Amino acid sequence: MYLSSAFVRLVDGAPLCSGRVEVKSNQSWASVCEADFDWQDAEVVCRELGCGAPSVLQGGLYGEGERLIWAKEFQCKGDESLLLDCDTLSRKEHTCTPGNDVGLTCIDRTRLLQGGGRCAGAVQLYLFGDWVTLMDTEWDITQAAVVCRQLGCGSAISAPGGFLFGNGTGQVVRGSIPCIGSEWSLFECQPIFTSPTSSCCSNAGVICSDLLQKPDISLADSMGGVSKGHQGPEVFRGHSFTITCSIQPHYPGGSFLLTFIGSNRTQTQPAVNHSSAFLFPAADDSHQGNYSCVYEIYIFSNHFSSESELLSLTVTGN
């Protein structure tokens, strides 16, 4: 994943407004050494990419590039619109220690609030030096799709207006945001905003497809029959064991489906305190294999699900 302008991009970061800084050099992309890039340079990059202000600047933060290194030092003042507008200083001898490719995290200028997680809620934008809530005039699924992409939340499920996510907080703005739906940020759509006013009106909302985090799956027992093997956890034949499914507490309710991969054997339990425990009284050869947890919930008038990593279980002993 990367966010790019014509000359600079952020690579291998998540969410979108973060990554390793790379600049265009002779039709190729080159990493920038930490020693050649400071906070004022970072302010320009975040501004150019529509990502607000820098919050973290560190060498090696997002790994190494292809070892093509930009051979100049940036000397931005911090108020430039583009990195190309900044002065640079050439060096006769230029080396960059491996692991010092500069990484940058910007404060995103768009967020979703009061939706229970980062991928649903009322749209807030960082404008005029503060966070303001966007009113739902001229708001539809096209703009919502851009927000979901910008936040790394998948595709847009719906773009509700009104007060689904409360009455908003702080001040509000009305915006004309002529997106076509393929942009990486609302600020690429050349928006026009009114001045902030006191909270008064219904809000622009977004519900994205990647609403749920990935659930966790774990194995335990109360009799000492579980151990760690080379291929994963091992259970001694005849011992009881429990597979537990859990998820971060963003939404109440829902259920867990425990699936035995490669068969039609499944078990379902309601989520209690965001988890479910599946007890197996006595392990035998039929229990050996791969398991996964699927969390399912109906919320915001839609069905959502998310699947865990695989748990590979081996049954050992006589």
Q: Matching CATH topology for 110-208 and 216-316?
A: no
How many Å apart are CA 46 and CA 105, to the nearest integer?
Answer: 8
- Superfamily per CATH, domain 216-316: Immunoglobulins (2.60.40.10)
pLDDT at 223: 67
Render pLDDT for 76-91 as a digit per residue (tens, 0 to 9): 998 888 898 999 988 6
Pairing status of strand 311-316 against strand 232-236: parallel
User: Which fold is adopted by the domain 2-107?
Assistant: Mac-2 Binding Protein (3.10.250)
What is the pLDDT at residue 48? 84
Q: What is the pLDDT of residue 301?
A: 92
Give residue limits of the domains in the chain.
2-107, 110-208, 216-316
Residue 80 Cα to chain centre, angstroms: 28
Cβ atoms of 308 and 226 closer than 8 Å: no
List, as one string, the DSSP characters of the chain: -EEE-SSEEEEE-SSSSEEEEEEEETTEEEE-BGGG--HHHHHHHHHHTT--EEEEEEETTT---SS-B--EEEE--S--SSGGGSEEEE-SS----TT-BEEEEEE-SEEEEEEEETTEEEEEEEETTEEEEEBSTT--HHHHHHHHHHTT--SEEE---TTTT-S-SSEEE-EE----S--SSGGGG--EEPPPEES-S-B-EEEES--SPPPEEEEE-SSS-EEEETTEEEEETT--EEEEEE--SSSS--EEEEEETTSS-EEEEE-BTTEEEEEESS--GGG-EEEEEEEEEEETTEEEEEE---EEEEEE--
Question: Which stretches in the chain have pLDDT values below 50?
Answer: none
66: nearest Cα among 17, 15, 25, 37: 25
Residue 31, φ and ψ in degrees, nearest 5: -70, 160
What pLDDT score was predicted for residue 300?
Answer: 92
∠ Cα 268 271 274 (to 5°): 140
Domain 110-208 classification at class level: alpha beta
Task: Give one DSSP letter per residue of 194-254, joined into a string.
Answer: PPPEES-S-B-EEEES--SPPPEEEEE-SSS-EEEETTEEEEETT--EEEEEE--SSSS--
Q: Which residues contact 286 (CB under 8 A, 6 or more apart)?
A: none
Angle, CA 311 vertex, CA 307 and CA 316 arms, to 5°:
160
Longest Cα separation, the chain: 75
pLDDT of residue 220: 83
